[in-house]
Amino acid sequence: MALPWLESLRVWGAEAGKNAVQGEAPIRFAALFSGNGFHREHWWAKGSGKTMELGKVLEPLLPHREKMLFIQGLYNEEALKGNIHSSQTGNILTGAPLEAGGGIRSGISIDQMLAKQYGQTTKVPSLVLGCEKSNPSVHKNYSMLYSSHISWSSPTTPTPLEVYPALAFDRLFRKDASQSDQSVLDAVLGDARDLRRGISRSDKQKLDEYLNSVREVEQRIDRAGQRGELQGWRPTLDKPNVPRPADGIPQDIAEHMRLMCDILVLAFQTDATRFCTLKLNNDHSSLRFPNLGVDYMIHHLLSHQESNDWLKVNQFFLEQVAYIAAKLDAIQEGERTALDNTMLMYCSSMLTGSHDATKLPVVILGRGGGKLETGRVLNYLDQPNRKMCSLYLSLMDRFGLHLDQFGDATERLAGL
């Protein structure tokens, strides 16, 4: 079981010697996605720093605006060709041409490009999480797998999406996924006691907080399983009088999303991985939100109206982003926080539910190890280069991965 960053220990390959404990924590990258865009009147930001003003959709991010970049005007040229959900989502992180006719071809996504370069230094090269199952159907000549996946390991291989919190947790902390295994904490308590004897007082406190957070997630997963709120549709009768349909979404989507958010934070906190994507829902999504009192219409149809309920659902997604940011910002790693050492990008494949992919919504939280100047609003709408893949080239530069081309871009994004 990996440890969080501790001031008393030499970690992440730092050289031994008198300055051994002064190594810096690594930079992480996470891409969060929600489908169908946002309320057209309330996705905006203006100003800078602690006086930055945010539209109602973005209000959950107000506490983090000094560590935020609001980026507007970017787009993917290839995403404009089909003008439907799947053709706009399948290359959101690749910028590559998509194969139509029900075929599957995109490109390697930014998270997997980074994982191929640096992922072998951690237990899990990359973590690919989701809260809604893949859709294998075809819609208007494009595979709906494009709507279901944003991470691509190769041009013909969407990275497998883990929608079960328990299995995602097991991948980080266990050697196998057997439900009969003892708690991961029970297996390492002896080592933890030995470790405590040789670390500082502040590290002891951090270690205790970390172990408690792992235990809490374990217990919540266990309780969710006991309630029967697992991934999949559950019949309302003890003995259904109709054939059981294909597996659907968890009964408690709010808890499902929070568990996935916590697993992302734990993955970064333990250095189990440094690259993660979290797909909060699919594009063309069929999720409903009874936790918000909005269960009368699926997410996709709700996106076609600019209602208060649509705004409420938008804010619910942003609350997940804000939750991750707050958790990461509470983790101290030397002079920075885990959020300071992360680039947490949140996006959708269209600005509004009307399929407008000419101006993609993009927010980045975190400072990339001090390599991003945050607290700014950047507008590229009238700039000669406003490609999403130019943003990705610039972000990969922060990791030391310097490519001549990525997707449809050959130049970096100016002013980042």
| CATH number for position 331 | 3.40.720.10
Long-range contacts: 400-407, Cβ < 8 Å, 24+? 401/113, 401/114, 401/117, 401/118, 403/113, 406/95, 406/110, 406/113, 407/76, 407/78, 407/91, 407/94, 407/95, 407/96, 407/107
114 inside domain: yes
**Which residues of 227-341 form beta strands (DSSP E)?**
275-279, 332-333, 336-337
pLDDT higher than threshold 70 for residue 14: no
pLDDT higher than threshold 90 for residue 109: yes
**382 close to 407: Cβ distance less than 8 angstroms:** no
Residue-wise pLDDT tens digits, 292-322 = 999 889 988 998 888 999 999 999 999 999 9
**255 close to 108: Cβ distance less than 8 angstroms:** no
Residue 185: band (very low, low, confident or very high) from pLDDT cuts 50, 70, 90? confident
Mean of the per-residue pLDDT values of the chain: 85
Pinpoint the alpha helices (H) of 156-198.
Answer: 165-173, 184-196
pLDDT higher than threshold 60 for residue 74: yes
Q: Which residues pair with 103 in a beta bridge?
A: none
**377 close to 46: Cβ distance less than 8 angstroms:** yes
More confidently predicted of 375 and 216: 375
pLDDT of residue 232: 38
Tokens 């297996």 found at: 187
pLDDT of residue 176: 57
416 inside domain: no
Question: What is the identity of the amino acid at 326?
Answer: A
pLDDT higher than threshold 60 for residue 20: no
Between strands 45-46 and 336-337, the pairing is unpaired
pLDDT higher than threshold 50 for residue 194: yes
Q: Which of 14-23, 284-293, 378-387 ranks highest by mean pLDDT?
A: 378-387
Q: What is the token pair recorded at 34? A: 């929600």
Mean pLDDT, residues 212-236 = 59
pLDDT higher than threshold 50 for residue 112: yes
Q: What is the token pair recorded at 224? A: 């969710």
pLDDT of residue 19: 40
384 inside domain: yes
DSSP state of 381: T
88 inside domain: yes
220 inside domain: no
pTM: 0.83
Mutual angle of helices 253-269 and 201-226, in 10-degree steps: 150
**Number of domains comprising the chain:** 1
pLDDT higher than threshold 90 for residue 357: no
In whole angstroms, give the CA distance from residue 118 to residue 125. Answer: 8
84 inside domain: yes
Residue 44 domain boundaries: 28-173+246-399
Residue-wise pLDDT tens digits, 358-371 = 999 999 999 999 99
pLDDT higher than threshold 80 for residue 233: no
Mean pLDDT, residues 175-187 = 61
In whole angstroms, give the CA distance from residue 33 to residue 28. Answer: 17
410 inside domain: no
More confidently predicted of 165 and 277: 277
pLDDT higher than threshold 90 for residue 93: yes
pLDDT of residue 223: 67
Selection from 246, 276, 272, 283 nearest residue 260 by Cα = 276
Q: What is the token pair recorded at 337? A: 């926080």
374 inside domain: yes
Cβ burial of 366 (10 Å; 0-12, 13-18, 19+) is: buried
Percent of the chain exceeding pLDDT 70 equals 87
Buried/exposed code over 299-326 (b: 16+ C-beta within 10 A; e: otherwise): bbebbeeeeeebbbbbbbbbbbbbbbbe
Cβ burial of 100 (10 Å; 0-12, 13-18, 19+) is: middle
**95 close to 78: Cβ distance less than 8 angstroms:** yes
Q: For residue 242, give every residue at least 6 positions away whose Cβ sits within 8 Å of its Cβ, in sequence order, or none.
A: none
In whole angstroms, give the CA distance from residue 252 to residue 234. Answer: 12
